[in-house]
Amino acid sequence: MIRIGTRRSALALAQAGQVADAIGDAQLVPIATSGDRDAAAGDKSRWVAELEQALLDGSIDIAVHSAKDVPGELADGLVLLAAPARAAAEDVVCGVAALELLPAGARVGTSSLRRMAQLRAAREDLDVVELRGNVDTRLRKLQERERGLDAIVLARAGLQRLGREQDGGGVLDPARFVPAPGQGALALQARRGDADAVAATRRVDDPVTLRCVRAERALARALGASCNTPLGAHARASSDQLVLRAWVGLPDGSAWILDELAGEAEDPEALGARVAERMLATGAADLLAAAETVAS
């Protein structure tokens, strides 16, 4: 039996459960992470460190992560083996049918620095505020108009996997609101050289999704992105190529860079590195440094 490690949130359990069903003869092993205990503290590793340790000590065989939560550098001895077919990558605004319908001064909540920056870049007249909590908590806060919320922005994939897509309003155009690297995708991690894990993940792997995630992660690594970086990166397949769109900006939305480039599907890391190089050549380093300064 394959032991599948997962965070304990409702969304994480739903995601891992889908993977377990597809693999068959699998057991879920819920694990509390430091991110679950204190979502406001630390970097991306807070969502995966305990799962990676469980892989290293042999208490699980596969870890299922939201791909956007996985840091650019993995723990020694571990690899990303597979990614199931990607769910919707877009963001969705809840509480209104379209972002354009919100009046000036409307209060919009989100937990993502990237979403804050993109919302402010698109609608400087909105009052964009930080909103923490899991999906159910944030939807409840919107329904109860806690903190005077008029709308919130969430990942569409999370609503889909929880069976709550009806709570979404308008889907935000990913060409303008470029999703986070890995958004909508799951990443299956295992010990390097574990033949049983390789065989199990082969049953659920979607090679196109994995290539897209690899391109997006390569871009983030090349830019030196952190949790303080308002960064979007979204790759899609087009014939025998990948097309990677990327966005980086300041938290207040006052400046940003957008780029898109096609490259060979068989070398997604090279495409990610090339887009990062182009963005750095047009001032992305200054935006990244400014964003880090604001966050600190």
Q: What does the block give as tokens for 208? A: 């196109």
pLDDT score for 228: 81
Is 177 inside any structural domain?
no
Statement to judge: residues 211 and 195 lie in one domain:
no
Report the distance separating Cα 253 and Cα 114, nearest Å: 10
- pLDDT tens-digit series, residues 136-182: 999 999 999 988 999 999 999 999 999 999 999 999 999 999 999 99
Q: Are residues 189 and 72 in the same domain?
A: yes
| 268 lies in some domain | yes
Same domain, 132 and 256: no
User: Which residues of the chain are under the pLDDT cut of 70?
Assistant: 35-44, 295-296
Burial 69-108 (b: 16+ CB within 10 A, else e): bbbbebbeebebbbbbebbbbbbbbbbbeebeebeeebbb
Considering the domain architecture, whether residues 58 and 192 belong to the same structural domain is answered as: yes
67 within domain boundaries: yes
Residue 180 domain-assigned? Answer: no
Is 71 contained in some domain?
Answer: yes
CATH of the domain at 230: 3.30.160.40
**On the CB side of 226, how many CA atoms lie within 13 Å of its CA?**
13
The pLDDT of residue 33 = 82
- Domain range holding 223? 206-296
> Does residue 178 sit within a domain?
no
Whole-model pTM? Answer: 0.92
Counting Cα atoms < 13 Å in the Cβ hemisphere of 292 gives: 11
Residues 118-135 pLDDT 10s: 999 999 999 999 999 889
Give the CATH number for residue 97.
3.40.190.10
| Residues 11 and 67 both lie in one domain | yes
* Residue 179 in domain: no
Same domain, residue pair 74 and 116: no
Whether residues 276 and 167 share a domain: the answer is: no
Active site residue 69: yes
Q: Is residue 164 part of a domain?
A: yes
Q: Which of 21, 38, 57, 69 is catalytic?
A: 69
- Count of domains for the chain: 3
- Looking at the fold, whether 3 and 78 belong to one and the same domain comes out as yes
For residue 61, the model assigns a pLDDT of: 98
